[in-house]
Amino acid sequence: MIALRNLRKSYETAEGRLEVLRGVNLDLGAGDRVALMGESGSGKSTLLHLVAGLDRTDSGEITIGGRDISKLNDRERAAYRRTKVGLVFQQFNLVPSLDVAANIAFHAKLAGRHDREWENELVERLGIGTLLTRYPEQLSIGQQQRVAIGRTLAARPGLVLADEPTGNLDEANGDAVLELMLSLSKGSGSTLLLVTHSQRLADRLDRQVHLRFGKIE
């Protein structure tokens, strides 16, 4: 379903050109749940951003559902993010001006897949039914991440990309949130690519890939 071929990405930094990805090759099947691991600065997040269509590759192909998204323009990439991808980051996932209910419905509505029943079920299973009228800044970080997962899954994306979604949480909380995410994504049949540096979390997924010096080991 997802095929990455010879992906390269570098950034200009104060110390000169930094090559982050140096020819990444990776295949993910539909419904695969893969942990992306690696040292700090190994390029995990960059890879995730490229797959999410948030940033452009320098060279290489990202074929998703038979389409090379690295060739897409801004507008097409935005449509891609809207309809095909769900994103969960470590922080600032939510739209600060919308309350929890509106945040959960936000992506689904943008994607044209607004389904109130499904949202209600998600809210129930995430245990955030009492928070619906609150605003993000009134939530704890754990609560924010639950809402973020709800927001992502409510849109039923084919591909869920998560970048250390529990990185700011303590272990118990993190485990609970991840558990929810795994069980919910399983139910929706989405492909999941999870960036983490926790072996314990990675172990719970179907597969693990390691990124080292800009390449998959």
Q: Given the complex with another protein, which of 27 and 148 has the nearer CB atom?
A: 148
DSSP per position, 137-184: GGS-HHHHHHHHHHHHHHT--SEEEEESTTTTS-HHHHHHHHHHHHHH
- Of 73-81, 125-133, 175-183, 209-217: span binding another protein (CB under 8 A): 73-81
CB nearer another protein, residue 45 or residue 188: 45
Please identify, using beta-carbon distances, which residue of 5 and 113 lies nearer to another protein: 113
Q: Which residues on adjacent β-strands are paired with residue 64? A: 2, 67
* Residue of 11, 71, 129, 207 that binds another protein (CB under 8 A): 11
- Tell which one of 14, 15, 17, 137 touches another protein (CB under 8 A): 137
Buried b (16+ CB within 10 A) or exposed e, 127-136: ebeebeebbb
How many residues of this chain interact with another protein, rule: CB under 8 A? 38
Nearer to another protein by C-beta: 25 or 71? 71
| Residues sharing a CB contact under 8 Å with residue 101, sequence separation 6 or more, in sequence order | 132, 133
**Segment interacting with another protein (CB under 8 A) among 72-80, 122-130, 169-177, 207-215:** 72-80
Q: Could you say which residues in the range 102-121 bind another protein, by CB under 8 A? A: 102, 105-107, 109-111
Tell me how far the alpha carbon of residue 161 is from its chain's centroid: 2
DSSP label at residue 17: E
Asked if 156 interacts with another protein (CB under 8 A), we say no
Least CB distance to another protein at residue 208 (A): 19
Instruction: State how far the Cα of 149 lies from the Cα of 186, in Å rounded to an integer.
Output: 13
Question: What sign has the CA pseudo-torsion 123, 125, 129, 135?
Answer: negative
Distance CA 169, CA 155 (A): 24
In angstroms, what is the minimal distance from the CB of 49 to another protein?
A: 6
Instruction: Figure out which of the listed residues 90, 188, 190, 191 binds another protein, where binding follows CB under 8 A.
Output: 90
Pairing mode of beta strands 33-38, 207-212: parallel
Binding status of residue 55 toward another protein by CB under 8 A: yes
User: Which residues sit at the interface with another protein, rule CB under 8 A?
Assistant: 11, 45, 49, 52, 54-56, 74-75, 78-83, 85, 87, 89-98, 102, 105-107, 109-111, 137, 163-164, 167
